[in-house]
Amino acid sequence: MEISELYADIIMDHQRNPRNYGTLEEKDVEVHTTNSSCGDEIFLEIKFDGDKISQIAFHGHGCAISKSSASIMTELVKGISKQKALELSKKFVEMVKIGKTQERELKDAVVFQGVSQYPLRTKCATLSWHALEEALKRTAV
């Protein structure tokens, strides 16, 4: 594997210009998740419209992998239902674990397949997704 595969253009783009970065004025849930092995942390905020994730934002500090993964995650789940978001999360976590996926729904997030070769870095890629799962769990009906 080459550096340019792990730090693909799309990852570098999202880490330089993270989408949905910041805070929400109105939110239904806020989750703070940390990666104890490195100290990275993410604050994830979500506003729902019924069952749908209508607005989502994150901030915190983390590496290129965790920041870009959070950015791509927020783009993927914005506008979809809680159930759908949970399904995506499971698929993403599975992909990072085994290093491959057939799931086209993961779209740009498939770029993180290569992270599986770096067991210590997989937590970076999944941090924001775990925050999402926690947020959905807390707001489950």
Q: Which residues bind other proteins (CB under 8 A)?
A: 2-3, 6-7, 12, 37-40, 61-65, 67, 118, 121, 124
d(CA 26, CA 103): 32
Closest CB 81 distance from other proteins, rounded Å:
33
Closest CB 121 distance from other proteins, rounded Å:
6
Looking at the DSSP assignment, which residues form a beta bridge with residue 47?
55
> At 80, phi and psi to the nearest 5?
-110, 170
> At 103, phi and psi to the nearest 5?
-80, 110
Closest CB 70 distance from other proteins, rounded Å:
13
As a whole number of Å, the end-to-end CA separation of the chain is 44
Nearer to other proteins, 62 or 128 (CB): 62
The SS3 assignment for 54 reads: strand
Closest CB 66 distance from other proteins, rounded Å:
8
Closest CB 67 distance from other proteins, rounded Å:
8
